[in-house]
Amino acid sequence: MTEEDIKMWKEALGQQMRLERKSKGMTQKEVAPLVGLSQKTVSQIEKGENPTIDNYIKYCETLGSDFAVIAARARVVIRARTIGDDYLDGLTG
């Protein structure tokens, strides 16, 4: 896996974390103390900046979400970016 691949994964995971938080109607400020992190760290996770797997998992658990599902969504986003929108069209019929 190249550095660019790793960066893409971090960004896609962060994007999915942000979407999950927003789907629960929560702000970063509300989530941060529940996760036990600063709002700055929550923001960094959602931007894909310097995340750790532990922080990803704590974040998901706090939201009542499954990290595997979030990672699967991120994978779809990455596939769509790398092979184009035809990939998503194929998944949605």
pLDDT tens for each residue of 1-20: 788 888 889 999 999 999 99
**Close Cβ partners of 46 (under 8 Å, ≥ 6 residues apart):** 14, 15, 17, 18, 21, 28
pLDDT tens for each residue of 10-63: 999 999 999 999 999 999 999 999 999 999 999 999 999 978 889 999 999 999
pLDDT bin (cut points 50, 70, 90) of residue 91 is: low
Q: Go through the domains of the chain in sequence order and give each one's CATH number.
A: 3-92 (1.10.260.40)
The DSSP secondary-structure symbol of 69 reads H
Looking at the predicted structure, is the pLDDT value of residue 87 above 60?
no
Average pLDDT of 58-87?
Answer: 85
What's the CA gap between 69 and 32, in Å, rounded?
Answer: 21
* Largest pairwise CA distance in the chain: 42
